[in-house]
Chain A
Amino acid sequence: MNQVKNVICIDNLTFGYRNKQVLDKICLDVPEGSIFGFLGPNGAGKTTTIKILLGLLKVGDGHVSLFEKDINTHRIEGLKLTGAMVEDPSLYDHLNARENLRINCVIRKIDSTRVEEVLSQVGLTTDAHRKVRNYSSGMKQRLALAQALLPSPRLLMLDEPINGLDPAGIIEIRNLLLDLNQNHGITIFLSSHILPEIEKLCSHVAVINKRNILYQGSMNGLLNTGISGARLIVETDQPVKTKELLSRLYPVEVSGDHKIIVTLSDRNEAKDVAKRLVDAGIGILLLQPETHELEASFLELLKDN
């Protein structure tokens, strides 16, 4: 059996609607087994990218592959392993949840026993007999997720999957996605505006803005290194002496709780900071890299670009 390294591979993709260019030579690799967050402001090109991946929009210039198969020539093979939910849920509101899922079973040649399994996974079993027009937006969102899960996919592509969910619903869906990823090995590619959720869920992340990918890599990479260099939080038993010593060598600022924040040009300089403090006889209470909140990193990234 072939080991797939990247389930999604986008290489130099350019796309536009009439006179408006939406994507400009973007490159994106989504590793198998990851939960990949796709972030960007409104109109950045997230949904367009997902639609191209699903074959809804034809690839302009560039190369796009799903499971190492070109989407232009092997669209069907790639989509067979994919479950998707794009923007507003695609549900027939004159039918109930079971009937909606059965239509998908028929089209995709899926055993109808999966209907009850996925309904139970998203917590809709008791409401499955009700017409979708009577569902709340959160319930519709869950049903759309059930629809995406129906073919037991190896890749889930979810566009704003937690929109419209209440806090309990968000936690349930988060746990479900984590379970699908960790226990069933499903790769999840999701876009969302809810950054704290992305932070809790995703192992990898890409940030898109104004037609370009600004960052792509691990979530820790984005949080820890930030974009403007590494920052080190230092707390010692002699704060005044520490500030005097370090300010001669690095840009230093003091936080509200008397911790000293040292800006380093390279993360390896943390070793030198520790050595100098020890040599000066200063007792180190805390020495840790400053982690950015995703929101801060995201905003900083957009600001810089």
Chain B
Amino acid sequence: MKSLFITDFFNIYRGEWLKSRKTLAFWMAILFPFFCTILVSLTFLGDKQIPSEPWPMYIKQVNNVMSFFLPFFLILLVSFTTQIEYKNHGWKQLYSQPVPRFTIFIGKYLMVLTLLVLSVIFALLILSGLAPIIQLIRPGLNFTGTSFDFITFYRLFIHTILGGIFIMTLQYWLCLRLRGFMAPIISGVFFTIIPIAYVMILGIAGLLKKGKEVLKVFEYDPYSYPFSTTFKFAPANSASTPLIPDILQLHLGIALVILILAAIDNHYRKVYA
């Protein structure tokens, strides 16, 4: 029984992979890191300062830009992945397959997670490929003479992926419940800009005076949590910076609860389209 469930899950996941190719979601997973890395590379070219160890700075800046756009990327990624089914009347075909409903639910969820991880892998490939080109244009940047900083990359991007899990999970549930394309996107954007608006209002009122206070607001809101990375300037590989901070653990815990509730909701869901 257990092995049958795993086989069903694996088959659903494979099916999701087959249908995800050539979709907007798949291309987004490639183009998002490409866009972020190009943006950072251009600023690197124009920067007057030449760091002696360019890799950690380059990686951190790519991660910062990716983190900044991550909520919007995830909102769109989840919407595009689920919208395939609405657009092509796929839900009724999927849910009338002789497999447990949970495997369909979790298979698609893990497909979105896969696309997120893929975008990080693409980021690694693109920044590794672009660095020698930057060095050709600005020979002072010694990328080839120093080794790639895997620890910084690993710590920063693991943190980025984990920081996106809450957004991904809640958006996934919203997309399963709300049939229209725009409703989950508008909800997601609303959740993302609320803390920015909150910070602005507090700032104007003079209630926020320190950068740390701003950071705290962003940290506590899961949708803007990835922003908070942008404002941290401590070395990423510093032992004092935990890989999964307490607040991120809390977000992940809540995301797990949301995932379980969404799975239960999905089990009893009426499939109309």
Contact in complex: A90, B90 (CB < 8 Å): yes
**Contacts A55-B95, A92-B84, A92-B90 given; does A102 touch B18 at CB 8 Å:** yes
Query: Could you say which interface size class chain A belongs to?
Result: 20 to 34
Contacts of A82 in B (CB 8 A): 98
- Report if B7 contacts A (CB, 8 A): yes
Contact in complex: A87, B89 (CB < 8 Å): yes
> How far does the Cβ of A152 sit from chain B's closest Cβ, in whole Å?
13
Contact in complex: B18, A94 (CB < 8 Å): no
Number of interface residues of B (CB under 8 A): 27
Contacts of B87 in A (CB 8 A): 93
Contacts of B14 in A (CB 8 A): 106-107
Contact in complex: A79, B96 (CB < 8 Å): yes
Contact in complex: B89, A54 (CB < 8 Å): no
- Report if B92 contacts A (CB, 8 A): yes
Contact in complex: A55, B18 (CB < 8 Å): no
* Bound complex: CA A91 to CA B94 (Å): 11
Q: Which partner residue on chain A sits nearest B16 by CB separation?
A: A103
> How far does the Cβ of A19 sit from chain B's closest Cβ, in whole Å?
15
Question: A50-67: contact bitstring with B at CB < 8 Å (1 yes, 0 no)?
Answer: 010011111000000000
Contact in complex: B270, A55 (CB < 8 Å): no
Contact in complex: A95, B270 (CB < 8 Å): no
Question: B59-76: contact bitstring with A at CB < 8 Å (1 yes, 0 no)?
Answer: 000000000000000000
- Report if B238 contacts A (CB, 8 A): no
- Report if A108 contacts B (CB, 8 A): yes
Contact in complex: B89, A108 (CB < 8 Å): no
Question: B76-109: contact bitstring with A at CB < 8 Å (1 yes, 0 no)?
Answer: 0000000010011110111111111000000000
- Report if A109 contacts B (CB, 8 A): yes
* Bound complex: CA A84 to CA B18 (Å): 21
> How far does the Cβ of B9 sit from chain A's closest Cβ, in whole Å?
11
* Bound complex: CA A29 to CA B204 (Å): 71
Q: Which partner residue on chain A sits nearest B267 by CB separation?
A: A58
> How far does the Cβ of B105 sit from chain A's closest Cβ, in whole Å?
14
- Report if B15 contacts A (CB, 8 A): yes
Q: Which 10 A-B pairs have the closest CB atoms?
A: A90-B93, A79-B98, A54-B96, A56-B271, A80-B98, A107-B15, A76-B98, A90-B89, A103-B15, A88-B89
Q: What are 15 A-to-B residue pairs whose CB atoms are below 8 Å?
A: A51-B271, A55-B96, A58-B268, A76-B98, A84-B96, A87-B89, A90-B90, A92-B84, A92-B90, A95-B18, A106-B18, A107-B97, A108-B98, A109-B11, A147-B93
